[in-house]
């Protein structure tokens, strides 16, 4: 029973991190039909800024986090304007290649700036403390991650369901041509969605640094993981990403607890079986 | 029975019935047309016959044997071929290559690894015959994407004929072709081998009445009436359907 | 004779180019050999991706399978190089066939991702089976017999170079024949219009599985060659980076032709060599910039550069007149 609870708590925390990082990828893939292998780079950027602010300049954790997220968004917007906008029109393969090239540039930039070693982000004392859950003690950090994760899905839900931006975004995901013929400025929607996704990825990268440590090769190392979340959840589906991220977080945590030596293998085999049976993902639309 | 024999063919998507208890025959030499308003289930019907979709109920026989369990590729090899509404030709290949591919596949040479694809005299002669038949000789070495739409339509017909089908379904063979060029397509269809069974799915009534000896009217997945062009032209229900509201 | 020159002229020119390089760089034969091995890997990717249109980022899986099986075969069974290549080819083909049965049911992003996943699984298996593969330390102790019993592997790498060159040539000729044969034509057909292929009676799925298997065998040969020549197999054989680099070399040169990948591999490897030698930490800048430049300005690869330049030149004159 304790095992199940352990898997549950750790898996949910892990899943929340995956969700925050991947949801932007899912939306941009659904919206712009772009295969963006560089998305993990935004988590890396966020993590690196936070490291630089908190570790090297002594900025407290939360302000550092906010500043790092803002900085990442600020960088992502011109990137969308200048580079990604042109990539949308490419074929699958060209997109893969262009975004691999971008990933390499991001890695090289971080490498040049901060070197290739681990970039730790010091947690404040309040987050390091443990709480007693009865069956185990748990760092407050994990609970905060879970809370922020829930807050972001809730925030996204409100944004998508209750605001004009959300309605327009959903219209654009459903049918870009119709949306722009209705006078919706899809260019602006794309950029806003891209920036939002980059910001969430940065937040996920920073909060998840305890689980997925930050270093220059981060975007390549975890690329498959983020892509799996999108593919399993179904491209363009925010809720799908959420379910997929939690499921994958739980699955990977479970395999690590139960078959520690073969966790990666068992995990990937599960994913392959799932996607072979449902190539469009859990909540993806057939033919999308 | 020779040819295609469809009995009680039904297809439902959820609560929607798109093909409703259809009986249909297509014998060698037949020239039939399938008409009906948009959404009547014409494409669904052709997809059911060619094996792209699986029916909810009903049987499809070819030369007397049940072909229900066969997939699209297997039915093609039996001799049931279909052209597409929108051309899905091999755009980056030449016209000649577009014709070579189906012939090689028909000959069962698709897995041949070392012999050059263009080195069999018999195959090349067959390609030349097809090019001549459709008057495509001058375009043989042009890339398909360079051709006008009407010309692509002709390549489409030639390619499908290269499969030596015994039953041919033409799904809107003149769709997208300017009226000034559509006679080329109609002429080509008239020239098709006499022993071929042909079903034409078409919107353009001029084409239908020129080519078909028998017309089937499909409405909401059901056959409304089947008859000769004269019978169809004078049928009150069909006139209602086509000439009804808003037409003067 | 004229037809022969037209068909094989560029291939012979490439062969002479490679031999010429070996005389120009006699102390860099190991580097040249590495290029030749990569050429084989990239050619295998060209068959799968350039011809059959199967988007994959996991060609390293078959390369690694070939490398480990050839290495293990040499250590435990027989150290004959040619037999080892055969074992590598079979290992690559078997892995490609088995994984292909699942992979070829998917397409697009799902396919790309699953190919990455397969390579990741192989990586993990090789990592975990330490007793057999040496795990993270790599598989060591590969000692090869002389090639064909005649040419012993030497320190300078002369035998290795000529051996690899022979292997590249055979693979190249094999692919040149295959791509002109009906099978090759049908792969192009599947790439351009899978729906139409099904409509002319082809089981697209099995044709794809076959293409992936043949490509896997060739990637396996590349891996086996690497194991034999470098006498070590590391976990890197299964790495995502290797798959990605092979893809970059392919697109750099231009897909769907055989000369493109050869050219792309040479350019990539030389740029990599030069950039890494000058600044071992920042060569990713060079590669990243190069990749973006190709995607944006030469989408059909370096091989299309003359065409693009002439068009630019013409455009320039138009603008001026």
**Statement: residue A288 has pLDDT above 70:** no
Neighbors of chain A by Cβ distance (3+ pairs < 8 Å): C
* Cβ within 8 Å, pair C189-B115: no
Task: Compute, in degrees rounded to 10, the torsion defined by CA atoms B97, B100, B102, B108.
Answer: -130
Residue with tokens 């480990």: C68
| Partner A contacted by C288 (CB < 8 A) | yes
d(CA C3, CA A79): 50
**Statement: residue C320 has pLDDT above 80:** no
Indicate the pTM of the whole model.
0.88
Compute φ and ψ for B169, nearest 5 degrees.
-105, 120
C169, two tokens: 């040539």
d(CA C219, CA C88): 9
What number is the average pLDDT over the span A149-153?
A: 94
The answer to whether C88 and C69 have CB atoms below 8 angstroms apart is: yes
pLDDT confidence bin for B248, thresholds 50/70/90: very low
Query: Residue C109: its chain A contacts at CB < 8 A?
Result: 29, 35, 92, 227, 230-231, 235
pLDDT at position A287 is 39
User: Minimal CA–CA distance to C11: which of C151, C148, C179, C159?
Assistant: C179
The answer to whether B192 and B12 have CB atoms below 8 angstroms apart is: no
**Statement: residue C315 has pLDDT above 70:** no
What number is the average pLDDT over the span A106-119?
A: 91
Nearest to B88 among C195, C202, C210 (CB): C195
**Statement: residue B114 has pLDDT above 90:** no
**Statement: residue C306 has pLDDT above 80:** no
What are the distances in angstroms from CA A122 to CA A47, A114, A125, A127, A209? 11, 16, 9, 10, 10
User: Minimal CA–CA distance to A204: which of A15, A31, A30?
Assistant: A15
d(CA A87, CA C291): 13
pLDDT (tens digit per residue) in B14-58 = 778 888 999 999 999 999 999 988 888 888 899 999 998 999 999
pLDDT (tens digit per residue) in C130-171 = 889 988 889 998 888 888 988 888 877 889 999 999 999 999
What number is the average pLDDT over the span C286-294?
A: 88
What number is the average pLDDT over the span B138-161?
A: 92
d(CA C30, CA C225): 12
For A217, what's the count of Cα atoms within 13 Å in the CB-facing half-sphere? 8
Share of chain B above pLDDT 70, in %: 98
Share of chain A above pLDDT 70, in %: 98
Going C148 to C150 to C153 to C158, the CA torsion angle's sign is negative
| Partner A contacted by C130 (CB < 8 A) | no
| Partner B contacted by C300 (CB < 8 A) | no
pLDDT confidence bin for B247, thresholds 50/70/90: very low
State chain A's mean pLDDT as an integer. Answer: 87
* 3-class DSSP string for C187-231: HHHHHHCHHHHHHCCCCHHHHHHHHHHHHHHHHHHHHHHHHHHHC
User: Minimal CA–CA distance to A18: which of A166, A181, A226?
Assistant: A226
d(CA B162, CA B131): 10
State chain B's mean pLDDT as an integer. Answer: 89
Helix (H, G, I), strand (E, B) or coil at A34: coil
Lowest mean pLDDT among A105-114, A239-248, C253-262: C253-262
For testing the chain C interface, which of B113, B127, B152, B160 should be mutated: the one with the most C CBs within 10 Å?
B113
Compute φ and ψ for B93, nearest 5 degrees.
-100, 165
Share of chain B above pLDDT 90, in %: 52
Helix (H, G, I), strand (E, B) or coil at A67: helix
pLDDT at position C321 is 33
Helix (H, G, I), strand (E, B) or coil at B110: coil
The chain C residue lying nearest A29, using CA atoms, is: C109
Distance from CA of C199 to the nearest CA of B (A): 6
Helix (H, G, I), strand (E, B) or coil at B247: coil
d(CA A104, CA C240): 13
Nearest to B115 among C181, C195, C196 (CB): C181
State chain C's mean pLDDT as an integer. Answer: 89
> ipTM of the assembly?
0.85
**Statement: residue A224 has pLDDT above 90:** no
pLDDT at position B243 is 61
Query: Residue C201: its chain B contacts at CB < 8 A?
Result: 73-74, 76-77, 102, 105-106, 163
For B113, what's the count of Cα atoms within 13 Å in the CB-facing half-sphere? 8
The answer to whether B93 and C188 have CB atoms below 8 angstroms apart is: yes
Query: Residue A234: its chain C contacts at CB < 8 A?
Result: none
Cα B238–chain centre separation: 23
pLDDT at position A73 is 96
DSSP codes of every residue in C237-259 = GG-HHHHHHHHHHHHHH-SSSSH
The chain A residue lying nearest C254, using CA atoms, is: A94
Tally of CB atoms within 10 A around C274:
12
Cα B27–chain centre separation: 14
Distance from CA of B79 to the nearest CA of C (A): 9
Distance from CA of C208 to the nearest CA of A (A): 16
**Statement: residue B244 has pLDDT above 70:** no
Query: Residue C287: its chain A contacts at CB < 8 A?
Result: 101, 104
Q: Going edge to edge, which strands form the sheet with B31-35?
A: B80-82, B167-171, B197-201, B31-35, B214-219, B222-227
Share of chain C above pLDDT 70, in %: 94
A4, two tokens: 């199940």
What number is the average pLDDT over the span A134-160?
A: 89
| Partner C contacted by A79 (CB < 8 A) | no
d(CA A242, CA A237): 9
pLDDT at position B112 is 87
What is Dmax (Cα atoms) for chain A?
57
Cα B51–chain centre separation: 13
Helix and strand element counts for chain C (H, E): 14, 0
pLDDT at position C312 is 63
pLDDT confidence bin for C269, thresholds 50/70/90: very high
What number is the average pLDDT over the span B121-131?
A: 94
The answer to whether C87 and C243 have CB atoms below 8 angstroms apart is: no
* Cβ within 8 Å, pair C189-B106: no
pLDDT at position C281 is 67
The chain B residue lying nearest C174, using CA atoms, is: B114
A108, two tokens: 């090289």
pLDDT at position C111 is 87
Higher pLDDT, A183 or A36: A36
pLDDT confidence bin for B93, thresholds 50/70/90: very high
Cβ partners under 8 Å of residue A264, min gap 6: A255, C120, C121, C124
pLDDT at position A107 is 93
C81-110 as b/e, with b when 16 or more CB fall inside 10 Å? bbbbbbbbbbbbbbbbbebbebbbbbbbbb
pLDDT at position C109 is 75
* Cβ within 8 Å, pair A269-C248: no
pLDDT at position C313 is 61
pLDDT (tens digit per residue) in A12-21 = 999 999 999 9
Compute φ and ψ for B62, nearest 5 degrees.
-130, 120
For B183, what's the count of Cα atoms within 13 Å in the CB-facing half-sphere? 1
* Cβ within 8 Å, pair B117-C181: yes
Instruction: List the beta bridge partners of residue B4.
Output: B26, B62
Instruction: List the beta bridge partners of residue B199.
Output: B32, B169
- H helices present in B120-248, as ranges: 121-133, 149-161, 179-190, 205-211, 229-234, 236-243
pLDDT at position B6 is 94
């Amino acid at each position: 029973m304790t095992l199940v609870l352990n898997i549950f708590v750790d898996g949910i925390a892990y899943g929340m991190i995956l969700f925050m990082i991947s949801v932007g990828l899912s939306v941009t893939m659904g919206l712009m039909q772009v295969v963006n292998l560089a998305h993990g780079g935004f988590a890396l950027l966020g993590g690196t800024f936070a490291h630089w602010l908190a570790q090297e300049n002594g900025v407290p954790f939360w302000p550092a986090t906010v500043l790092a997220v803002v900085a990442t968004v600020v960088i992502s917007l011109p990137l969308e304007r200048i580079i990604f906008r042109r990539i949308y029109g490419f074929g699958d393969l060209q997109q893969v290649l262009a975004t691999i090239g971008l990933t390499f540039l991001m890695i090289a930039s971080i490498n040049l700036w901060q070197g290739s070693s681990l970039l730790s982000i010091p947690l404040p004392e309040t987050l390091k403390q443990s709480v007693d859950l009865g069956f185990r003690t748990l760092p407050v950090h994990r609970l905060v991650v879970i809370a922020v994760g829930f807050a972001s899905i809730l925030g996204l839900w409100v944004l998508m369901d209750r605001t004009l931006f959300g309605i327009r975004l959903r219209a654009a995901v459903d049918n870009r041509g119709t949306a722009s013929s209705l006078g919706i400025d899809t260019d602006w929607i794309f950029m806003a969605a891209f920036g939002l996704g980059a910001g969430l990825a940065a937040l996920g990268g920073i909060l998840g640094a305890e689980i997925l440590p930050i270093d220059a090769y981060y975007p390549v190392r975890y690329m498959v993981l983020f892509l799996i979340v999108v593919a399993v959840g179904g491209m363009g589906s925010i809720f799908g990403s959420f379910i997929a991220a939690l499921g994958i977080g739980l699955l990977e945590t479970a395999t690590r607890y139960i078959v520690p030596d073969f966790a990666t293998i068992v995990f990937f085999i599960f994913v392959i079986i799932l996607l072979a049976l449902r190539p469009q993902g859990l909540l993806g639309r057939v033919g999308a | 029975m020779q040819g295609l024999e469809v009995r009680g063919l039904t297809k439902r998507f959820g609560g929607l019935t798109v093909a409703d208890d259809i009986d249909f025959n297509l014998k060698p030499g037949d020239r039939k047309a399938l008409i009906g308003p948009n959404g009547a289930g014409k494409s669904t019907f052709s997809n059911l016959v060619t094996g792209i979709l699986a029916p909810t109920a009903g049987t499809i026989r070819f030369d007397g044997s049940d072909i229900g369990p066969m997939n699209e590729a297997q039915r093609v090899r039996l001799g049931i071929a279909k052209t597409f509404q929108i051309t899905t030709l091999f755009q980056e290949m030449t016209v000649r290559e577009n014709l070579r591919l189906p012939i090689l596949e028909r000959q069962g040479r698709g897995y041949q690894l070392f012999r050059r694809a263009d080195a069999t005299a018999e195959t090349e002669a067959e390609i030349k015959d097809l090019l001549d038949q459709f008057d495509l000789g001058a375009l043989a070495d042009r890339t398909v994407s360079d051709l006008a739409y009407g010309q692509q339509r002709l390549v489409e017909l030639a390619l499908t004929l290269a499969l030596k089908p015994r039953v041919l379904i033409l799904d809107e063979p003149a769709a997208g072709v300017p009226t000034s060029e559509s006679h080329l397509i109609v002429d080509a269809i008239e020239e098709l081998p006499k022993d071929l069974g042909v079903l034409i799915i078409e919107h353009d009534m001029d084409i239908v009445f020129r080519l078909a000896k028998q017309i089937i009217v499909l409405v909401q997945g059901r056959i409304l009436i089947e008859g000769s062009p004269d019978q169809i032209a004078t049928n009150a229900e069909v006139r209602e359907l086509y000439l009804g509201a808003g037409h003067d | 004779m004229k037809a022969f020159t037209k068909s094989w002229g560029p291939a012979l020119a490439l062969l002479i180019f490679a031999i010429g390089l070996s005389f120009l760089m006699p102390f860099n034969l190991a580097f040249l050999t590495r290029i030749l091995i990569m050429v084989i890997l990239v050619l295998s990717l060209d068959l799968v991706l350039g011809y059959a249109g199967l988007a994959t980022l996991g060609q390293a899986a078959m390369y690694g399978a070939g490398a480990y099986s050839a290495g293990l075969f040499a250590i435990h069974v027989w150290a004959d190089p040619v037999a080892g290549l055969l074992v590598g080819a079979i290992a690559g083909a078997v892995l490609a066939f088995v994984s292909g049965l699942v992979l070829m049911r998917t397409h697009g992003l799902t396919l790309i991702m699953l190919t990455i996943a397969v390579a990741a699984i192989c990586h993990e298996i090789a990592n975990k089976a330490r007793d057999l593969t040496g795990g993270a330390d790599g598989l060591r102790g590969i000692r090869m017999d002389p090639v064909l019993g005649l040419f012993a592997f030497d320190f300078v790498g002369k035998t290795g170079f000529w051996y690899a060159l022979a292997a590249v040539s055979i693979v190249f000729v094999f692919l040149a024949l295959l791509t002109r044969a009906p099978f090759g034509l049908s792969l192009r057909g599947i790439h351009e219009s899978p729906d139409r292929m099904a409509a002319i009676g082809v089981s697209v799925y099995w044709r794809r599985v076959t293409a992936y298997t043949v490509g896997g065998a060739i990637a396996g040969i590349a891996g086996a060659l690497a194991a034999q020549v470098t006498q070590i197999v590391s976990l890197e054989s299964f790495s995502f980076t290797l798959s990605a680099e092979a893809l970059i070399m392919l697109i750099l040169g231009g897909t769907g032709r055989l000369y493109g990948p050869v050219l792309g591999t040479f350019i990539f490897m030389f740029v990599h060599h030069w950039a890494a030698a000058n600044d071992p930490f920042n060569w990713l800048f060079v590669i990243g910039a190069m990749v973006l430049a190709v995607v944006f300005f030469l989408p059909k690869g370096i091989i299309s550069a003359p065409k693009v330049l002439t068009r630019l030149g013409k455009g320039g004159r138009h603008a001026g007149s």
